[in-house]
Every structure is written in structure tokens, then in C-alpha cells.
Amino acid sequence: MDKIRITGGKPLQGTISIQGSKNSALPMMAASLLHRGVSVLKGCPAIADVYCMEDILRSLGALTWWEKNTLYLDCSRADGTEVSGDSTGKMRSSVILLGALLARNKKGSMGYPGGCVIGKRPVDQHLYVLRCLGAWVEEKENSLEAEAGCLKGAEIVFGKISVGATEQGILAAVLAEGHTVLRNCAREPEIVWLCRYLRSMGAEIQGEGTHCIRITGVKELKAGNMQIPPDRIVAGTYLCAAAATRGKITISNPPEGELDAFLEVYGKMGGQYNRRSGKLIADGSGTAFPVPFLETDTYPGFPTDLQSPLMAVLTTIPGKSRIRENIFENRFRIAKELNKMGASVAVSGREASIQGGTCLRGCTVRARELRGGAALLVAALAAQGETVIEGCSFIYRGYEHICEDLASLGAQIEEDTGTAFL
């Protein structure tokens, strides 16, 4: 079950639709806790992280159910305040529930957040914003404890731009007393979607998508009901898979304007694309040019989550490419696995140098985190012969039916269940 087998070498061809965004769905699920009734998230991806967040909300007293990809969350009685470390240890974004718990139930106690090991990932900015809003917060060795009789609006400047801490601040401030100004906020699309969702619930928020978000607390929020946007990282991953195999794919529901930094690099590599009737038509057959230098950055810069899948593409392009990873210091672990397949990637600190165009050959490799796992899939699709990817539970954290999707594009791929999609 934890393995995927791929026989590479076939250009991907066909049309694909993109699942709902993981990183939008998770904070929207946390936001649903702020309404004492039923909220509805349409197009919710059926992936391990969403199931984990669902389990946590249920452990707090919420009722949840699915109709296809629509997730219903009845938080009428979600009055629990304790989240076990078993759940939080599975997923980094569990930590944003602390602000939602404080806003709703005045206190929260949770195990330390776990998730993919891609860097140190401290939570200081999360705790800072909650303290600024008047909460008492204690960081213990394995848990986080917080209490607030009443959260009060404040002017807060984040010491570091953080997606999760910005979400934490927003979730805690929407029901706080008075005005909150959050400065040095992350501008990622997922923050914008969270604010749209909260505004549809009656929250008063302005400025999302800029570095300064202003919130006026309201007494209560009504039910949320929203379509989750397509996942920009999944869309980028499939474009990488098409480029690595020199294939041509059409994305029927591309994310709107959220992939610009990636598409710029895609164009530099020789990929072509155009938008027609709301679709993104991508032709990766001309992918041939290395990328002399690329660095990851906060949005709208090149997303760190697409850095590893892109590295896999660059291993297939003759010439030297160089990547600098500025967000997570430990996101190059995948280089070792790519090298096992015949790639030539040298890592030095925050930089990776890729001598592309060496012949990739299938072998057994191991995923150790989500996007690194996706990069192995991209490389395996381009490699000669069979690749077995172990540790695929990391991939299923974020990709809904990825094997079926790639098989529908002509890939020879099967999960270890023995189910072949040929």
C-alpha cells in the first residue's frame, strides 16, 4: 500500500482536473469551528491531511460527513479544548487550531505539531500573535497550552513572514474584541481564500493578499459554504510531470493567476502554454533549457512546495541548473534519492547544483516527505525502466488519487495494492 511502481519513459498526454487545495481546505476547516452550526466545504480533497483535521475536529465534538467531495462540518457542539499529540503529531497545520480554539472555547491544549521534516519549523510567530491578542500561552516540551478570557484586538507586526502564523492571527482575531492590524503578513493565495471564507461567514477583514490585514472583531459568525479552489501545487506538479516526460497536458480547472512564478520558469525551460476557455493547455515537448539560477521565495515568488518537483524536471535537461531554497533549510533531502536514479545533484547548504541530462534509470527509492515524494514520481515517469517508490503515505498527505490521475494521462503506474491502472 505504501509503494508505487512506475515504468517510465512515456510522454504524458491528455486532460486532467485538479483537486481542491490542501493548504486552503485545512485552514477553512479550522475556521468552521468558529460557527456553532453546519458549514459546508465543496470540492474538499479526500487526502490524509484533511482526514486528520476531520478526526481532530471530531475529537473536539464536531460531527462531520461527506457527500462525494463535499465535506459537512457540524460544529454546534465542538466544545472540546484538548487535542491529543497523536493527531497533531501527524500534521504541521494542526497548530492553527490553537487560535480557533481560543476564539471559540477560550482555551486550548494540544500536542506539538508534527508533519513533514523539511526544516526546523518553529512556532514562535504563532505563539507571539496569540499573546499579542491577550492570550496566556505556554510552550511545553511536547505540548502547547493557551487560555484567554477574552481576546482583544491589537496592532501586531510579525517578526517573520509565515503562512501558518498569519492564519493563526486571522482565526484568533475575527471574534476578538475591537480592531486588529496584522503587519508583515504572508500574501499566499491560501490566506486570501481563508479570508474570503471567513468574510462569507460574516467576519470583517480587509487587506488579505497584502502584507497588512485589518480585522474588526464580530460577536459571532454564521455558517460557511464555499468551493475550495484548485490546488496550485498539485497543478504545478502535473505540469512538471508533463515537462519531464516531454508531454502535453490540458488542465481543465487551472488555479487563476496563482502559478505565475512557476509558469515563468516553465517558459524559460522551453515549455509552452496558453489559456483557452478557462483551460490551461501546456506543451512540455520543447523542454530543453536549464535554469541557471532559481530561488524560492514567499508568494508571489517561486513556491518552495514546487522546488523538488522542478528539481526532478531539471535533472532531465542537459546543462547546469542551480536552485537556492530560502524557505525550508531541509528540502534538499530528495537529491540523494534522485542521484540513486542516475541524476547528478550536488547540495551545498541552501543551494543545489543540478547537472542535467544524465540518463535516469528506474530503481527503488524512498519518499521522506510530501513534495520530495512528488518529485520522485516526476523523475520516475521520465526514467527508463521500473521505479518503486516507498514511503508513499507522504505523497497521499497531499495528492488525491494521484496514480489514477497519472494513469489517465497515459502513465504506466500502479499502487502496491496490486490495482493496475494501465
Ligand X SMILES: CC(=O)N[C@H]1[C@@H](OP(=O)(O)OP(=O)(O)OC[C@H]2O[C@@H](n3ccc(=O)[nH]c3=O)[C@H](O)[C@@H]2O)O[C@H](CO)[C@@H](O)[C@@H]1O
Ligand Y SMILES: C=C(OP(=O)(O)O)C(=O)O
219 binds, among ligand Y, ligand X, none (CB under 5 to 8 A by kind): none
- Name the catalytic one among 44, 52, 116, 132: 116
Q: Could you tell me how many residues of this chain bind ligand Y (CB under 6 A)?
A: 11
Q: Which does 120 bind (CB under 5 to 8 A by kind): ligand X, ligand Y, none?
A: ligand X
Q: With CB under 6 A as the contact rule, which of the stretches 110-118, 142-150, 224-232, 312-320 interacts with ligand Y?
A: 110-118
Task: Establish whether 305 is an annotated binding residue.
Answer: yes
Task: Select the binding partner of residue 383 from ligand Y, ligand X, none (C-beta < 5 to 8 A, by kind).
Answer: none
Nearer to ligand Y, 214 or 371 (CB): 371
Region of 91-99, 175-183, 258-266, 336-344 interacting with ligand Y (CB under 6 A): 91-99
Site membership for ligand Y, residue 229 (CB under 6 A): no
CB of 373 to ligand Y, least distance (A): 10
368 near ligand Y, judged by CB under 6 A: no
**How many other C-beta atoms lie within 10 A of the C-beta of residue 277?**
6
Instruction: Determine how many CB atoms are found less than 10 A away from the CB of residue 17.
Output: 14
**Smallest distance, Å, CB 24 to ligand Y?**
11
Question: Closest CB to ligand X among 128 and 273?
Answer: 128
Q: What SS3 string covers the chain?
A: CCCEEEECCCCCEEEECCCECHHHHHHHHHHHCCCCCEEEEECCCCCHHHHHHHHHHHHCCCEEEEECCEEEEECCCCCCCEECHHHHCCCHHHHHHHHHHHHHHCEEEEECCCCCCCCCCCCHHHHHHHHHCCCEEEECCCEEEEECCCCECCEEECCCCCHHHHHHHHHHHCCCECEEEEECCCCCHHHHHHHHHHHHCCCEEECECECCEEEECCCCCCCCEEECCECHHHHHHHHHHHHHCCCEEEECCCCCCCCHHHHHHHHHCCCEEEEECCEEEEECCCCCCCCCCEEECCCCCECHHHHHHHHHHHCCCCEEEEEECCCCCCCCCHHHHHHHCCCCEEEECCEEEEEECCCCECCEEECCCHHHHHHHHHHHHHCECEEEEECCHHHHCCCCCHHHHHHHCCCEEEECCCCECC
Stretch that binds ligand Y, among 31-39, 112-120, 250-258, 404-412 (CB under 6 A): 112-120
Residue of the chain from 93, 250, 298, 321 that contacts ligand Y (CB under 6 A): 93
Residue 22 is labelled as binding a ligand: yes
Told to check if 115 binds ligand Y by CB under 6 A, we report yes
Q: Which does 122 bind (CB under 5 to 8 A by kind): ligand X, ligand Y, none?
A: ligand X
365 or 374: CB nearest ligand Y: 374
| Beta carbon nearer to ligand Y, 231 or 405 | 231
Asked about 116 being catalytic, the answer comes back as yes
> Which residue ranges make up the site for ligand X (CB under 6 A)?
23, 26, 92-93, 119-126, 160, 162-165, 186, 188, 190, 304-305, 327-328
Residue 125 sits in the site that holds ligand Y (CB under 6 A)? no
Q: In the complex, which residues of this chain contact ligand Y (CB under 6 A)?
A: 23, 91-93, 115-116, 118, 305, 370-371, 398
Question: What residues are annotated to the active site?
Answer: 116
Annotated binding residues for UDP-N-acetyl-alpha-D-glucosamine, as ranges?
92, 121-125, 305, 327
Annotated binding residues for phosphoenolpyruvate, as ranges?
22-23
